[in-house]
Structure 1
Amino acid sequence: MTHKFLFFCTLLCLGLHAQAVKKVDHQSILWTRYYNQLLISEKWSLHSEFDNRLFLKPTQENLYVIRIQGRYKINEHLEAGSGFAYFSVDTQVPEINPDYNTPEYRGQQDLTWKLNANKVKVTQRFQVEERFIQNANKDELLSGTTFFWRFRYRLQADCIFWKKEKQLLKAVASDEIMFNFGKNIIKNTFDQNRIYAAIHYGLNSNLAFELGYLNSFQSRSNGIDYFNRDIIRISIFHKIKISKKV
């Protein structure tokens, strides 16, 4: 039922904008990230993420991200998280490169539901973000920030192809939709939709690698023009266990 609702929302949002579309910029980007999970106990963990994003045509820095969040496992199926992210945006259009980077400060909270069925795991994540973006014009950063909220819903499935002792190979597929809201949001309530597919290889219980393709269809601030981004994503996942009981 949930995936039908997500599909309906995506079609509705895209459909409402379809007749007004003036321009769609196609971009190719490489995302690389290191994701660390510090397992403190059976219930608590601290997650940190370092993500760099690079335009490929032409080659130009897009942005880098630092995230940190605490996570609590409520029960076998449900966990909650709360954290903070810092973004440093070089440019969103590689042909235009200002002499400064625009910072964004972001709070985030989520509730994640998981269901394991044999070799398939289904995950739903409901996330709210508080975004503070530094004001800027074409020439320089300005004082103050612009604040708005963003809601994100992601549906993901992981399917294990092969598993031997502590090694595994699995496929990952997900769809995530995002909406902006707040008094500063006038035209771009629909933010973006991300479709993702990847191959994930677990070298052991503590280290894994993932190679995936992500398509991001994102509205620009005017609510009419869009980015259509083809993204290659390379990830390293690293778990560190503090407690022997984990």
Structure 2
Amino acid sequence: MLLVQVLFSNTSYAQSDRVYDQNANGWYMYFGDHRFTDKWGIHTEAQLRRNHIIKDPQQLLLRTGINYDLTPAAMFTLGYGYIETHPYGDYPAADKFPEQRIYQQLQVKGSLGRLGLNHRYRLEQRWVKQPGAEDYTFLNRARYMVKALLPLAGNTLEVKEPFLAVYDEVFVGFGKHVKHNIFDQNRAYIALGYKLSNTTSFELGYLNQFIQKANGVVFESNHTLQVSIFHNLNFAAQE
């Protein structure tokens, strides 16, 4: 939170100039990391994001990537994402607009007692075509997420057992096209999960997405139902 406060202090707008928008959203998501050799694999991801929980469109996000295991606890990913954002909320965009994105990512796994930890560091190069614009605008963004999983039935997480999941992720924009929102957004999440099998787990939770728009004036607090399926296959083990 100290980082968020420091980033807020860089904006040129006074507190009294800010306006706040709250929305109820639903994000329905699939994540897959599938290994083909001892070191190499692919990432697959699809997210259907809806406004008013499920009634209206908010975003479609499709993401893929090539995974490489640096060590048993560290994985690097180089990937591509396509995002289509629709108007929503009290201060909507003029129309839906596309974004194309390249990203580089490092994930490092660890543990603290019974707690499983995952640190994710991501850099994004984003090409965003705002409504009415002829060309894409190039933007840079850095993201850091720490996620913790706590088994609820024992010291380790086994098949057909529940768990608690929490994470926080901060987004920071940088580069010449950043306007008034060096701080881009923060996501805080808590969920109940269930390990269905050795390859599949499920999470049902609440996400608070706090966004500062590019104009530095509009802030969103999005209360979000998040439904996630994680499906990871190891084809290398079948050789």
With normalisation by structure 1, the TM-score equals 0.87
**Distance change (3 Å), C-alpha of 1:58 and 1:201:** closer
The 3 A distance-change label for structure 1 pair 10 and 123 is same
- Please, which moves more after superposition, 13-22 or 57-66? 13-22
Is 1:8–2:38 an aligned residue pair?
no
- Secondary structure at 1:11's aligned position in 2? helix
Q: Which deviates further from its counterpart, 112-121 or 60-69?
A: 112-121
Flag the structure with higher strand content: 1
Matched, 1:52 2:48: yes
- CA–CA separation in structure 2 for the residues paired with 1:103 and 1:237: 26
Q: Give the drift of 1:24.
A: 0.4
**Aligned partners of 1:231 and 1:15: how far apart in 2?**
27
Q: Aligned partners of 1:95, 1:185: CA distance in 2, in Å?
A: 20
**Hey, what does 1:212 align to over in structure 2?**
205
2:163 counterpart residue number: 170
Q: Is the 8 A contact 1:212 1:234 kept in 2?
A: yes
Give the 3 Å change call, closer, same or farther, for CA 195–57 of structure 1 in structure 2: closer
- Whether contact under 8 Å (2:100, 2:126) holds in the other structure is yes
Q: Which residue of 2 aligns with 1:79?
A: 75
Range moving further from structure 2, 186-195 or 163-172 = 163-172
2:32 match = 36
SS in 2 for 1:10: helix
- Tell me how far apart the structure 2 counterparts of residues 58 and 234 of structure 1 sit (CA, whole Å): 12
What is the aligned partner in structure 1 of residue 108 from structure 2?
113
CA deviations over 1:153-172 (Å, ceiling 9, x no partner): 11221111126753332111
TM-score normalized with structure 2 length:
0.89
The equivalent residue for 1:156 is: 147
CA contact (8 A) 1:27 1:57 kept: no
Deviates more, 1:209-218 or 1:113-122: 113-122
Deviation at 1:88, TM superposition (A): 1.1
Shift of 1:209: 1.0
Which amino acid letter does the alignment assign opposite residue 168 of structure 1? E
- Residue identity matched to 1:19: Q
The match for 2:15 among 19, 25, 30 is 19
Unaligned runs of 5+ in 2: none
Q: Structure 1: where are the runs of 5+ without partners?
A: 1-6
The question of whether the paired residues in 2 share the 8 Å contact of 1:88 and 1:103 is answered with yes
* Residue in 2 that maps onto 1:3: none
Residues 192, 95 of structure 1: CA spacing in aligned structure 2 closer, same or farther, 3 A cutoff?
closer
Deviation at 1:28, TM superposition (A): 0.5
1:191-232 per-position Cα deviation (integer Å, ceiling 9, x unaligned):
011111111111111121110111011001111220111011
Q: Deviations over 1:41-89 (max 9, x none)?
A: 2322211111001111793210111000111111133221110000011
Question: Would the aligned equivalents of 1:66 and 1:86 in 2 still touch at CA under 8 Å?
Answer: yes
Q: Identity of counterpart residues, as a percentage?
A: 25
Q: Residues 59 and 174 of structure 1: is their aligned pair in 2 closer, same or farther, counting only changes over 3 Å?
A: same
The one of 165, 181, 193 aligned to 1:200: 193
Aligned length: 235
Distance, in Å, in 2 between the alignment partners of 1:197 and 1:96 is 27
Distance in 2, Cα, partners of 1:76 & 1:57: 38
The answer (yes or no) to whether the contact 1:108–1:129 under 8 Å persists in 2 is: yes
Displacement of 1:36: 2.0
Q: Residues 59 and 94 of structure 1 are in contact (CA less than 8 Å); yes or no, is this contact kept in structure 2?
A: no
In structure 2, the CA distance between the partners of 1:43 and 1:15, relative to structure 1 (3 Å rule), is: same
Cα contact 1:91–1:97 (8 A) shared by 2: yes
Q: Distance in 2 between matches of 1:21 and 1:10?
A: 18
